[in-house]
Amino acid sequence: MRAAVPTLLKMMLAALAVQLSMTGLAAAQTKITIGVPPVPEFVLPMIAVEKGYFKDHGIDATIKIIPGGQSMPAALQSDSLQIAALSTASLIQVTDSGLDLVVVSGGAIASVDDTNYGIVAGANSEIEKPEDFIGKRIGTPGLGSFFHIMAREWFRRKGVDWKKITFVESTFPQLGDLLKARTVDAVLSTNPFLQRAAIPGIGGKVFYIAADLPDRLPPFVYAGSRSWADAHREAATGFKRAMDEAIAFQQHDLPAALEIFGKYVKMPPEVLKTLTINKLDTNVTPQQVQLWVDMMDKQDMLRNFKSPDALFLK
């Protein structure tokens, strides 16, 4: 009995030591909240959480699904979110307006063979070529959004004056119904909404606009406030590395990646199965960001934006 007491004491002390070391490990993790919209392109942080890639890089991440992207910049600035998925156009615009945000990681790349961004003409709209859009109404998810900017640039490159086209704002799920009801002549959309609007009888010709836009255009990036990114350089680097591992996972096993997406964004199973994901890439350069600046400049959207270099931490 006498021998048992010190043994028990030793075991308790050992257990306490293990507990303390684990607490120390947990404390070493940088806590972050990541804001992403409910779209499959933003599956990477979800994979990185579920597969433990963030933990491996010293990050204790929580995902917050935020519909639309309008509130993300303010949430970053107020430190409610440490990292958020922002459209590159939105990042440029809010920086132009004075917010001090930087790119933490790239997100996706729109290549010229991309079929994820399109304008679906109505089944009986008689729209067959870009010029046919003049005088028509296009349902658009967010006026001034990166979709809208891409579409206007596409029309410019096709020699069509986009000012002669009426863009009508709507949410993604309503676009198909608007087209069906002929409230609009065409809709600008992305998957899975694009596929649903393009069903025969509702949609007619589909114009995949990325084909005529600059190659390797980054539609969105992951951004943080400069002060946070500067103070947490290790976590910012770890974030990008974890995202690279998530890309490898997504490329290796798309159904598993979509299953993870379904855990965060509850979609009907039949829709979940049809989802596709753009080419994802965490690398983004000031030159790629400049492609957006050029498009936005032509659309008179910027006031005093200096250089995309300022969006990257030195």
Partner 1 sequence: MSRTRIDPVLRALPAWLVPLAMLAVTEFAMRASGIESDGLARPSEVATALLGLIGNGEIVLRTAETIGAVTIGVAVGGTLGLLLGVWMGLSPTAARLASLTVELVRPIPPVAIIPLMMLIYGLGIKMEAAIIAFACFWPMLLLSRDAVLGVEPQLIEVSRMLGLPRRQQITKIALPAALPRIFAALRLTLGIALIVAVTTEIAANPIGIGYAIISAGLSLRPEVMYAFLFWLAILGWLLNTGLVAMHQHLFGAAYGEAPR
CB of 40 to partner 1, least distance (A): 11
Contact status: 86 vs partner 1 (CB under 8 A):
no
CB of 182 to partner 1, least distance (A): 14
**Which is nearer to partner 1, 135 or 268 (by Cβ)?**
268
Contact status: 214 vs partner 1 (CB under 8 A):
no
Sequence-separated (6 or more) residues with CB below 8 Å from residue 104: 83, 221, 222, 223, 224, 229, 236, 239, 240
Give the tokens for residue 252: 């290796």
**Which is nearer to partner 1, 125 or 191 (by Cβ)?**
191
Fill in the DSSP letter of residue 130.
G
**Which is nearer to partner 1, 165 or 175 (by Cβ)?**
175
**Which is nearer to partner 1, 192 or 218 (by Cβ)?**
192
Contact 93, 296 (CB under 8 A): yes
Site string for partner 1, 127-166 (x = CB under 8 A): ----------------------------------------
CB of 308 to partner 1, least distance (A): 25
Q: What share of the chain is helix, strand, coil (3-state, %, to 5)?
A: 50, 20, 30
Q: Out of 196, 220, 225, 239, point to the residue binding partner 1 (CB under 8 A).
A: 196
**Helix and strand element counts for the chain (H, E):** 13, 12
**Which is nearer to partner 1, 76 or 293 (by Cβ)?**
76
Q: Binding residues for partner 1, how many (CB under 8 A)?
A: 29
**Which is nearer to partner 1, 267 or 310 (by Cβ)?**
267
Name the segment binding partner 1 (CB under 8 A); options: 52-60, 168-176, 183-191, 204-212: 168-176
Contact status: 174 vs partner 1 (CB under 8 A):
yes
Contact status: 94 vs partner 1 (CB under 8 A):
no
**Which is nearer to partner 1, 118 or 176 (by Cβ)?**
176
Contact 285, 105 (CB under 8 A): no
Contact status: 268 vs partner 1 (CB under 8 A):
yes
Q: Which helix (H) or strand (E) holds 85?
A: strand 83-87
> 10 Å Cβ neighbour count for 273?
12
Q: In what order do the strands lie in the sheet with 59-65?
A: 59-65, 30-36, 83-87, 220-225, 101-106
Contact status: 171 vs partner 1 (CB under 8 A):
yes
**Which is nearer to partner 1, 176 or 204 (by Cβ)?**
176
> 10 Å Cβ neighbour count for 59?
26
- Give the 3-state secondary structure of residue 60: strand
Of residues 43-82, those binding partner 1 (CB under 8 A):
64-67, 70-71, 74-75, 77-81
Sequence-separated (6 or more) residues with CB below 8 Å from residue 256: 249
CA separation (Å) from 107 to 243, 266, 307?
9, 22, 20
CB of 92 to partner 1, least distance (A): 18
- Give the 3-state secondary structure of residue 100: coil
* Phi-psi sector, 126: left (phi>0), alpha (psi -120 to 50), beta: left
- Give the 3-state secondary structure of residue 205: strand
Interface contacts to partner 1, rule CB under 8 A = 38, 64-67, 70-71, 74-75, 77-81, 171-174, 176-177, 180, 192-193, 196, 265-268, 271
